[in-house]
A and B are shown apart, each in its own frame.
Chain A
Amino acid sequence: MAVTIALVGNPNSGKTTLFNQLTGNRQYVGNWPGVTVERKTGTLKNDHDVEVVDLPGIYSLTPYSNEEVVARDYLISREANVILDIVDASNLERNLYLTTQLMEFGIPVVVALNQMDIVHKRGYQIDSKELSERLGLPVVEISALQGDGIDELISAAKKAAASGQAPKPAPFSDDLEALIAHLENDLPASVDPRLKRFYAIKYLERDEKVIKELGKISDLENHVHAVEARFGDKADAVVANARYEYITGFINKVQKRKNSALSTTEKIDRVVLNRILALPIFVLVIIAIYWISISTVGKYATDCVNDGVFGDGWFLDPVAIVNPDAGAQAAYDADVDPYNVAQQAIAAYLEAAEEAGIDTTAIAANFLAEPGEEVLEAMGGDFEADPESEEAQAALDAFKAAAAKSGVIGEFMAVDADTTVETDYFVYYGAESEAAAQELADARNAEIESEGRAEAAEAVIYCFDGEVEAENDEGETETVTQGIQVAAPGEPSEYGIWVPGIPVIIGSALKSIGCVDWLYDLIMDGIIAGVGAVLGFVPQIMILFFLLAILESCGYMARVTFILDRIFRRFGLSGKTFIPMIVGTGCGVPGIMASRTIESESSRHLTVMTTTFMPCSAKLPIIALISTAVFGGVWWVGPLAYFMGIASIVISGIILKKTKPFLGETTPYIMELPEYRLPRFVDLLRSMWERAWAFIKKAGTIILLATIIVWFLSGYGIYEGKFMWVGEDLMDHSFLAYFGNSFAWLFAPLGFANWQAASSVITGLIAKENVIGTMAVVFGGGNSAWPLVFMQSLGVAAGSAALIHVAAFSFMTFQLLCAPCFAAIGAIKREMGGFNKWFWAALLWECGWAYAVALIIFQIGKLVITGAFGFWTVVAFALLALILFGLFRPAPKALAAKTK
């Protein structure tokens, strides 16, 4: 037999947890009232004939917010054969209020007493047999979380559905019953006879929706006045009182509550909701979440993945986890880093010498790891490098003699990947050029000092071939070899257990099967570079999801609305606005949907417009990139990005609430504060994994496709009138460059007017992960040091290397605040009700706000750093003044009167 079970109950009573238990589904659960905002359908795990419908939680059948309309309409439609009423046993009295209303639909009702574990923990007693007798309904004790009592519940529901027996409604006082019976006779003829009592009571309560649907009753007012005269209160209050009186009539026989000492929840709240501590604790919690996921554990994990799995490879080395300064990686780095510097120094010095007319071919061929094809050709086909050979040493002596006489100085810059400190090297050989190099270095250092960048850059001299005295970190003088004296490090496998990275493995596999060049490039420089750059952030995102899962399931979210309501009310919203904001840091789509619990329409529109200012998990890689690659991993960039999101919402709210479309009543605030629950570790892991898996799947589909398109568009182009493969060297002539350049000028006042950044804004609309994926392809093309190329390009676009940081921050700000991805734009469209003026206003506001904030940041930053004052500086101050005006101007009178 096909049966439909409707799950109904108060918000946060555990309906979705039960739904997941019954159907084996994995719907989103949390610990605050209003997690489920849509109706969801599934079938029983082991009986697919039984359909289960999860309805949003409701306190009553008088629809108050949108989600409650969904539940009531479904019950009136009578599609359900049985109502499964989930009752939170730890909050019995108020939960039974809804039960008394469900008994009036003429549909069999089965009561599931959930959260009995909390009841036992508190030392309460509930007599479910007595409750069943009093209500005249089957009552089953369950624990949805542990999965206890589920089988009994299913069989009770099936039995009730089969019998089809309508429950006996909760009886009121005789006087009220007589008046209701009287009204039942006057109902319109169209009313389903089984719903007579339900509709009679709704008419008595003057339920506008019902009156609109069924039509007016001529002498309704007489009926209502009769009730109000008899009981001396408004009719709806009389009915509500009657329901609670019915419950209080037996509640003490059913449940024995102990007036015990403070419960755990109350003890926690004494601290967490303490008048002085509450706000600082809230700020600390937010900082901790985003700091941990971006800067600390998350960064460490992401670094490992980026440098290891998606880089050259990594060491299997337990020592490094305990002490990063020891172990195989550290030993390897200690040999590799000086060698890399030496190689760059040799190359730079050879270049200078060649310009001075000295033959460098033999030196390059023997002493450079990668001498270049021209050099190898010049040396002949069967040449093999051997620095120790007599020929090589003779050539070196001749070269050194010539070079020392000419006094050439080579120059190059290197950036430390960890600290982002730039070092300018002046490479010399011989005493005379040492003095000249020292002079150049001193001049450069003075220049750096005058630019105020002494923290971020320095100039040093370096010997082409020699042993020099240098101070080490401990301040002791020791002899250091430099230049060609530095020995090449061995293979990584000589230092420990070495696992090659994915690009290395796939690259050698492709070469071994003789893959054609363009496909090799597409896979290595396009797909692996782009998708790998996105997947590299999975550890950070998993940690964020894990921490969000804790926050959502422990019960703190409802407390935050309590702490912040006073702030949000200042601009007509309620503390509940905070829930879409936090959910939105996981993904904007559920964040926008969570706005449905907000009762007033104009406030809901405002929330939908601003929710995506919170950086979602797909934007996290952008924050992580800027905070680690540009700002050297300082702790404050991550949390600042999130507080910037909060500030954008609050400031937008204040400004918009004073404009005409948003003038309106203050959103009401009334919120249940649920018990704290210790989340189960397995549930946290499951929640984390499901959302992370969705992220990974997206990387393998949408991001993969977008990356391939970006690779083609950036690889092919028109150069000198011909359609051709432009590759890395001529990428500025690629189709993507033409496309990006067509509007990159728009971003000039923001400090990042280059086609690479501009096109990442567009690919970011498809999915925000694309911002990083695109840049990895266009800046790196397979080179994992692409963030440095990105930084250098920002320096060029901003007009000065000193402006790299502020341009990068402006870039991040714009990317975080501007219009969200298409999926979230679709959610905005749904919540606004189509492509209407609300929808376009939302997009326009988001883009305009992002542009204004990024412009202010860059222009004022530029003014502070370089002192440059121009047209755009004026615009920045004008925009700032405009925002401040919107913020502090008095509210129009209409609003002031209403929000008093």
Chain B
Amino acid sequence: MTLNDIAIGSSCTVEKLNDDGEIRRRIMDMGITKGAEICVQKVAPLGDPIDITVRGYHLSLRRSDAQNIEVIPA
């Protein structure tokens, strides 16, 4: 299951990052690392990107990137 599959308002725990390249590094720097708890908060008006809370702050990222984040639903 990936972060993209998590419904709005639900939480999950990060298991692994699958993507390669620079955006993956940035995602980790922003605190999305193994074991981090994520709650999906909102979706932008046009369906993408999504707004999540991780490590106590709000972060927005695209669905295509969320697809590369493997999670375990809470």
- Docked CA distance A575–B44 (Å): 11
- Docked CA distance A278–B42 (Å): 12
Chain A 651-679, CB-CB to B under 8 Å as 1, else 0, gives 00000000000000000111111100000
The answer on a CB contact under 8 Å between A670 and B30 is yes
Task: Looking at the assembled complex, report how far the CB atom of B61 sits from the nearest CB atom of chain A, in whole angstroms.
Answer: 5
Q: Please give me the 6 A-B residue pairs with the lowest Cβ-Cβ distance, nearest first.
A: A566-B46, A60-B29, A673-B58, A240-B28, A93-B55, A278-B45
The answer on a CB contact under 8 Å between B45 and A276 is yes
Q: Which residue of B lies closest to A205 (CB)?
A: B25
Q: Is A563 an interface residue (CB 8 A)?
A: yes
Task: Looking at the assembled complex, report how far the CB atom of B71 sits from the nearest CB atom of chain A, in whole angstroms.
Answer: 15
Q: Is A840 an interface residue (CB 8 A)?
A: no
Q: Is A424 an interface residue (CB 8 A)?
A: no
Q: Which of A245, A273, A668, A672 contacts B65 (CB 8 A)?
A: A668
A–B pairs, 22, beta carbons within 8 Å: A59-B26, A60-B25, A64-B22, A91-B55, A92-B56, A93-B56, A94-B56, A236-B28, A237-B17, A237-B34, A240-B33, A244-B31, A244-B36, A257-B56, A269-B51, A273-B42, A279-B45, A566-B49, A569-B48, A670-B26, A670-B60, A672-B58
Known: A269-B42, A565-B44. A59 touches B29 (CB 8 A): yes
Q: Which residues of A in the span 565-621 have a Cβ within 8 Å of any Cβ on B?
A: 565-567, 569, 575, 599
Q: Is A62 an interface residue (CB 8 A)?
A: yes
The answer on a CB contact under 8 Å between B44 and A670 is no
Known: A91-B57, A237-B17, A257-B56. A563 touches B45 (CB 8 A): yes
Known: A64-B26, A237-B34, A670-B65. A562 touches B44 (CB 8 A): yes
- Docked CA distance A276–B23 (Å): 30
Task: Looking at the assembled complex, report how far the CB atom of B67 sits from the nearest CB atom of chain A, in whole angstroms.
Answer: 12
Residues of A within 8 A of B (CB): 59-60, 62, 64, 90-94, 97, 205, 233, 236-237, 240-241, 244-245, 248, 257, 265, 269, 273-276, 278-279, 561-563, 565-567, 569, 575, 599, 668-674
Interface centre among B30, B33, B42, B45, by most A CB within 10 Å?
A: B45
Which residues does chain B contribute within 8 Å of A670, judged by CB atoms?
23, 26-27, 30, 59-62, 65
Q: Which of B35, B44, B59 contacts A672 (CB 8 A)?
A: B59
Q: Which of A59, A92, A566, A673 contacts B51 (CB 8 A)?
A: A673
- Docked CA distance A273–B27 (Å): 23
Q: Which residue of B lies closest to A279 (CB)?
A: B45
The answer on a CB contact under 8 Å between A569 and B62 is yes
The answer on a CB contact under 8 Å between B55 and A565 is no
- Docked CA distance A59–B51 (Å): 19
Task: Looking at the assembled complex, report how far the CB atom of A9 sits from the nearest CB atom of chain B, in whole angstroms.
Answer: 14
- Docked CA distance A669–B49 (Å): 9
The answer on a CB contact under 8 Å between A565 and B62 is yes
The answer on a CB contact under 8 Å between A273 and B29 is no
The answer on a CB contact under 8 Å between A94 and B25 is no
- Docked CA distance A508–B34 (Å): 79
Interface centre among B44, B46, B51, by most A CB within 10 Å?
A: B44
- Docked CA distance A240–B36 (Å): 12
Which residues does chain B contribute within 8 Å of A279, judged by CB atoms?
45
The answer on a CB contact under 8 Å between B31 and A93 is yes
- Docked CA distance A265–B36 (Å): 23
Which residues does chain A contribute within 8 Å of B17, judged by CB atoms?
237
Task: Looking at the assembled complex, report how far the CB atom of A596 sits from the nearest CB atom of chain B, in whole angstroms.
Answer: 16
Task: Looking at the assembled complex, report how far the CB atom of B59 sits from the nearest CB atom of chain A, in whole angstroms.
Answer: 6
Which residues does chain B contribute within 8 Å of A674, judged by CB atoms?
58
A sample of 20 more A-B contacts (CB under 8 A), given A278-B44, A671-B59, is A60-B25, A93-B55, A265-B58, A273-B45, A273-B51, A279-B45, A562-B51, A565-B49, A566-B46, A599-B22, A668-B23, A668-B65, A669-B49, A669-B61, A670-B23, A670-B26, A670-B30, A671-B61, A672-B30, A673-B60
Q: Which residue of B lies closest to A62 (CB)?
A: B25
Task: Looking at the assembled complex, report how far the CB atom of A673 sits from the nearest CB atom of chain B, in whole angstroms.
Answer: 4
Which residues does chain A contribute within 8 Å of B51, judged by CB atoms?
269, 273, 562, 673
Q: Which residue of B lies closest to A671 (CB)?
A: B60
Q: Is B43 an interface residue (CB 8 A)?
A: yes
The answer on a CB contact under 8 Å between B29 and A240 is yes
Task: Looking at the assembled complex, report how far the CB atom of B69 sits from the nearest CB atom of chain A, in whole angstroms.
Answer: 11
The answer on a CB contact under 8 Å between B31 and A97 is yes
Task: Looking at the assembled complex, report how far the CB atom of A543 sits from the nearest CB atom of chain B, in whole angstroms.
Answer: 29
Q: Which of A248, A669, A673 contacts B62 (CB 8 A)?
A: A669
Which residues does chain A contribute within 8 Å of B58, judged by CB atoms?
265, 672-674
- Docked CA distance A569–B62 (Å): 10
The answer on a CB contact under 8 Å between A94 and B57 is yes
- Docked CA distance A94–B30 (Å): 7
Q: Which residues of B in the span 1-44 have a Cβ within 8 Å of any Cβ on A?
A: 16-17, 22-23, 25-31, 33-36, 42-44
Known: A94-B30, A237-B28, A673-B51. A275 touches B45 (CB 8 A): yes
Which residues does chain A contribute within 8 Å of B47, judged by CB atoms?
566
- Docked CA distance A223–B59 (Å): 34
- Docked CA distance A854–B27 (Å): 44
Which residues does chain A contribute within 8 Å of B34, judged by CB atoms?
233, 237, 241
Which residues does chain B contribute within 8 Å of A599, judged by CB atoms?
22
Which residues does chain A contribute within 8 Å of B23, judged by CB atoms?
668, 670
- Docked CA distance A91–B25 (Å): 20
Known: A97-B29, A275-B43, A673-B51. A233 touches B59 (CB 8 A): no
Q: Which residue of A lies closest to B42 (CB)?
A: A273
Task: Looking at the assembled complex, report how far the CB atom of B43 sits from the nearest CB atom of chain A, in whole angstroms.
Answer: 7
Q: Which of A97, A278, A575, A668 contacts B26 (CB 8 A)?
A: A668
Q: Which residue of B lies closest to A280 (CB)?
A: B45
- Docked CA distance A712–B34 (Å): 72
Which residues does chain B contribute within 8 Å of A673, judged by CB atoms?
51, 58-60
Task: Looking at the assembled complex, report how far the CB atom of B17 sits from the nearest CB atom of chain A, in whole angstroms.
Answer: 6
Which residues does chain A contribute within 8 Å of B25, judged by CB atoms?
60, 62, 64, 205, 236
